[in-house]
């Protein structure tokens, strides 16, 4: 079963805890249905997903122990599992969500907003540049350290530990590396790159995922895109790759996607480090 991110695991655990705190049992179909009517749609989605994950895991363990003597009981458990997974109905939003990505001119406008000499501007520029130049997820960004930046065959690269503990390598432009190096000198030490700034604007610990979301939303509003989110900058990175003629397989590798795992088992896919996505976007 696919490993969950820490944030998703937290949401699932919280959804289950909130339900169990009502005193009802997870196997009570009617109680689940009634409880679902009292919570938000997102909470329903988390609870439904958590129950499905737990029941399917338990059922799989039972199937592994199947014998001629207990196969009927396991079949009954399967029926109950199916019913429980259908107890909560999650309302799908009307219409289709339109994904956003920025044009080169919009990226340039976004970056120009962080040209100030102050610490906040420099930090924000680093965050925006890393998201648009590397396609990082925000949880990957907040855990990225200066030690994750290195050089290979004359090209600067970022090594990222993504979902499921899998590593991927993304080449970056010399301009972005210079920006990161300048930021490291400003901080005066190694450590995490995306830093939280305290009330006195001094670097503290890592930014949180919510802080990154708030930062992108703030700058999105400033360029007339109030709905801009960190994942839209990840899509911008992918769109840039596509426009430059990179293959869908290479894009998938650079984004750390699992969608073409079957294909990767049969092909020796390599990322061309001579192609630097950031060369096509301003800093």
User: What are the pLDDT digits (tens) for 129-161?
Assistant: 999 999 999 999 999 999 999 999 999 999 998
β-pairing, 195-197 with 149-152? Answer: unpaired
Helix (H) or strand (E) holding 211: helix 209-222
Confidence of residue 272 (pLDDT cuts 50, 70, 90): low
pLDDT for residue 190: 78
Which CATH number fits the domain 104-280, given the four candidates 3.40.1190.20, 1.10.443.10, 3.30.460.10, 3.40.50.300? Answer: 1.10.443.10
Domain parsing of the chain, residue ranges = 6-85, 104-280
Helix (H) or strand (E) holding 159: strand 155-161
Confidence of residue 99 (pLDDT cuts 50, 70, 90): low
CB 200 within 8 Å of CB 153? no
Confidence of residue 92 (pLDDT cuts 50, 70, 90): low
Give the burial class of 51: count Cβ atoms within 10 A of its Cβ; 0-12 exposed, 13-18 middle, 19 or more buried. buried
CB 29 within 8 Å of CB 60? no
pLDDT for residue 266: 32
Mean pLDDT value across residues 204-208: 85
């Amino acid at each position: 079963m696919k490993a969950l991110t820490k944030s998703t695991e937290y949401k699932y655990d919280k959804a289950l805890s909130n339900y169990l705190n009502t005193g009802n049992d997870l196997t009570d179909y009617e109680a689940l249905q009634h409880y679902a009517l009292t919570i938000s749609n997102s909470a329903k989605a988390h609870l439904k997903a958590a129950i499905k994950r737990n029941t399917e895991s338990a059922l799989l363990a039972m199937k592994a122990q199947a014998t001629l003597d207990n196969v009927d009981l396991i079949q009954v458990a399967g029926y109950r599992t199916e019913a429980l997974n259908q107890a909560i109905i999650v309302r799908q939003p009307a219409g289709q969500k339109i994904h956003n990505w920025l044009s080169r001119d919009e990226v340039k406008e976004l970056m120009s907003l962080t040209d100030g000499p102050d610490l906040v501007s420099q930090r924000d520029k680093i965050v925006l540049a890393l998201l648009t130049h590397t396609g990082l997820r925000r949880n990957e960004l907040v855990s990225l350290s200066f030690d994750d930046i290195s050089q290979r065959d004359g090209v600067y690269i970022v090594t990222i530990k993504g979902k499921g503990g899998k590593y991927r390598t993304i080449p970056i432009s010399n301009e972005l590396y210079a920006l990161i190096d300048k930021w490291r000198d400003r901080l005066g030490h190694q450590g995490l790159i995306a830093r939280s700034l305290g009330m006195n604007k001094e670097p503290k610990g890592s930014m949180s995922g919510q802080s990154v979301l708030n930062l992108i939303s703030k700058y999105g509003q400033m360029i007339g895109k109030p709905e801009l989110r960190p994942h839209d900058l990840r899509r911008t990175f992918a769109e840039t790759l596509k426009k430059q003629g990179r293959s869908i397989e290479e894009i998938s590798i650079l984004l750390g996607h699992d969608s073409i795992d079957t294909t990767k088992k049969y092909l020796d896919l390599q990322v061309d480090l001579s192609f630097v996505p950031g060369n096509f976007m301003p800093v």
